[in-house]
């Protein structure tokens, strides 16, 4: 049985592949790409059918962050010409959220730049959640506010927040290359705090910062062991004015291989295509829907996405359907575990995930989370990815030394557009 048969069989049973098998997915060639997408697509349909969950970002506070994350346009010292504004009022945020919900989004992600919220900030978010839920009680709310202090996750849960996002972004071994004002352990700790408070854990990664295949596999296995219910996959948007402005390391084919690998490692978990899909997947975005079951609708934190109606048309044209407000996202067994966790029947630290032990977690037990803005387009730092012949790719053998990805030098800098509409402006949002 070759690699894809093995991965498909495991995925259909909800089992985790080996690390070597995950690495082999990233090493497949462009000639094998459609076979990889088809195999991972079977796994996606097994657990999520043809449903696509829509999420909508509301940037509550933009720019002027004291953290130094190299990938972020809101970072300390950023020269990116993004929108900068302080906290939106609850009514303003609710109005912005309404646009996304009207467009079909069932989850609204409330994001604020900064190291982490003060108690006053938690009060602001509480008021904002109340305003949003007053308009539509069924909408899911995910908060992304940065590093959490003790009892803040519990306060968010009591306020009606359903999930908390904080991305690990890259592997523990290379995290210090992309940020120095907080640690990988800080990021893990906040995800654990959120999960322990009964919030659904939303934590993902950023690809395209020059990381190695090993880095990508390390962080994806860490996310699985941490018990993330939703895994956003961001593709670095190299903003001018940030340290990673010249890091154009992705091709559409590379992005699809990454998404397939994430799906195989997380067969029954929500996998979301997040920031950067328009820039890097481009005309191959519909193929990504065969791998991920969730996307953001419209614009991101500081960059513009494609038109919301274009997203809806793409989903329907590709033969998928939008997940309804009353439909559950996770498969029943995962949803039951999440419900037990929310009720306090299962402890935090990812133990409610139902996954295997932490032997493969890549350091995910080490505590901590990090800065705000984790829902949106992000990035990281490491080494370029490598490509292997097909004869080696199907054996499950780990990759050798990294080399440049095919086609990654064709930078489309013209597709990077700073957000100038929606939250924080007088213009209508894109949804």
Query: Among candidates 117, 188, 183, which has minimal Cα distance to 146?
Result: 117
Q: Is 44 a catalytic residue?
A: no
Which tens digit of pLDDT belongs to each residue from 214-224? 999 999 999 99
Active-site annotation holder among 107, 109, 224, 254: 109
Using one digit for the tens of pLDDT, what is the confidence trace for 63-82?
788 888 888 877 777 777 77
Question: Has 375 been annotated as catalytic?
Answer: no
From the candidates 19, 44, 51, 142, give the one annotated as an active-site residue: 142
Place of tokens 């972020």: 72
Mean pLDDT in residue range 258-277:
97
Catalytic residue among 19, 44, 51, 69: 69
Q: Which of 19, 254, 272, 334 is catalytic?
A: 272
Look up 65 and say whether it is catalytic: yes
By mean pLDDT, which of 225-229, 253-257, 369-373 is the weakest? 369-373
- Determine which one of 19, 124, 202, 263 is catalytic: 202
CA nearest 197: which of 352, 30, 310?
A: 352
What does the domain layout of the chain look like in residue ranges? 3-415
pLDDT tens digit sequence for 28-50: 999 999 999 999 999 999 999 99
The residue-averaged pLDDT of 124-145 equals: 96
- For the segment 302-340, what is each residue's pLDDT rounded down to a tens digit? 777 899 999 999 999 999 999 999 899 999 998 877 777
Name the active-site residue from 19, 44, 51, 72: 72
CB proximity list for 125: less than 8 A, separation 6 or greater: 60, 110, 112, 117, 143, 145, 156, 159, 161
**Given 19, 65, 187, 369, which residue is catalytic?**
65
Q: What is the pLDDT of residues 83-112, one digit of tens each?
A: 788 899 999 999 999 999 999 999 999 999
Burial call 353-391: b when 16+ CB within 10 Å, e when fewer:
bbbeebebbbbbbbbbbbbbbbbbbbbbbbbbbbbbeee
- Residue 277 pLDDT: 95
Return d(Cα 118, Cα 96) in angstroms, integer: 23
Is 349 among the residues known to form the active site? Answer: no
Residues of the chain above pLDDT 70, percent = 84
Q: Is the pLDDT of residue 387 over 70?
A: no
pLDDT at 80: 73
CATH of domain 3-415: 3.20.20.70
Tokens 């990988």 locate to 184
CA angle at residue 55 from 261 to 223, to 5 degrees? 35
Whether residue 109 lies in the annotated active site: yes
Q: Which residue has the tokens 């029954």?
A: 268
Q: How far apart are CA 269 and CA 205, in angstroms?
A: 14
Q: What is the DSSP string of 21-68?
A: HHHHHHT--GGGHHHHHHHHHHHHHHHHTTEEEEEEEEEEEBS--S--
Asked whether 80 and 302 are in contact (CB, 8 A), the reply is yes
Exposure string (b/e) for 326-336, b if CB count within 10 Å is 16 or more? eeebbbeebee
């Amino acid at each position: 049985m070759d690699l894809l048969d093995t991965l498909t069989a495991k995925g259909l049973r909800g089992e985790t592949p080996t690390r070597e098998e995950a690495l082999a997915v990233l090493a497949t060639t462009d000639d094998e790409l459609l076979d990889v997408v088809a195999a991972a697509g079977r796994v996606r349909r097994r657990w999520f059918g043809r449903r696509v969950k829509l999420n909508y970002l509301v940037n509550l506070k933009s720019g002027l962050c004291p953290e130094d994350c190299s990938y972020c346009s809101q970072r300390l010292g950023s020269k990116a010409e993004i929108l900068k504004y302080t906290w939106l009022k609850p009514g303003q945020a609710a109005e912005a959220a309404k646009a996304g919900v009207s467009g079909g989004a069932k989850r609204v992600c409330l994001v604020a730049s900064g190291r982490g919220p003060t108690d006053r900030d938690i009060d602001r978010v509480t008021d904002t959640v109340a305003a949003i839920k007053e308009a539509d009680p069924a909408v899911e709310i995910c908060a992304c506010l940065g590093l959490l202090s003790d009892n803040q996750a519990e306060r968010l849960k009591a306020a009606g927040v359903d999930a908390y996002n904080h991305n690990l972004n890259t592997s523990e071994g290379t995290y210090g290359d992309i940020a120095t004002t907080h640690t990988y352990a800080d990021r893990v700790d906040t995800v654990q705090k959120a999960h322990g408070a009964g919030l659904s854990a939303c934590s993902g990664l950023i690809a395209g910062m020059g990381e190695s295949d090993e880095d990508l596999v390390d962080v994806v296995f860490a996310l699985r062991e941490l018990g993330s219910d939703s895994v956003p996959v961001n593709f670095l948007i190299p903003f001018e004015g940030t340290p990673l402005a010249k890091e154009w390391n992705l091709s559409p084919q590379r992005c699809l291989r990454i998404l397939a690998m994430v799906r195989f490692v997380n067969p029954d978990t929500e996998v979301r295509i997040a920031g950067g899909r328009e820039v890097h997947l481009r005309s191959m975005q519909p193929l990504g829907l065969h791998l991920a079951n969730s996307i953001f609708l419209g614009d991101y934190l500081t960059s513009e996405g494609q038109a919301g109606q274009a997203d809806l048309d793409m989903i329907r044209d590709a033969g998928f359907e939008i997940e309804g407000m009353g439909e559950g996202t996770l498969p029943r067994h995962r949803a039951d575990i999440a419900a037990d966790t929310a009720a306090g029947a299962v402890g935090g630290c990812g133990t409610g995930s139902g996954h295997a032990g932490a032997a493969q977690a890549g350091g995910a037990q080490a505590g901590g989370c990090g800065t705000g803005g984790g829902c949106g387009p992000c990035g990281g730092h490491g080494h370029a990815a490598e490509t292997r012949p097909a004869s080696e790719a199907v054996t499950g053998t780990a990759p050798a030394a990294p080399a440049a990805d095919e086609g990654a030098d064709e930078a489309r800098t013209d597709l990077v557009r700073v957000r100038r509409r929606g939250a924080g402006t007088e213009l209508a949002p894109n949804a």
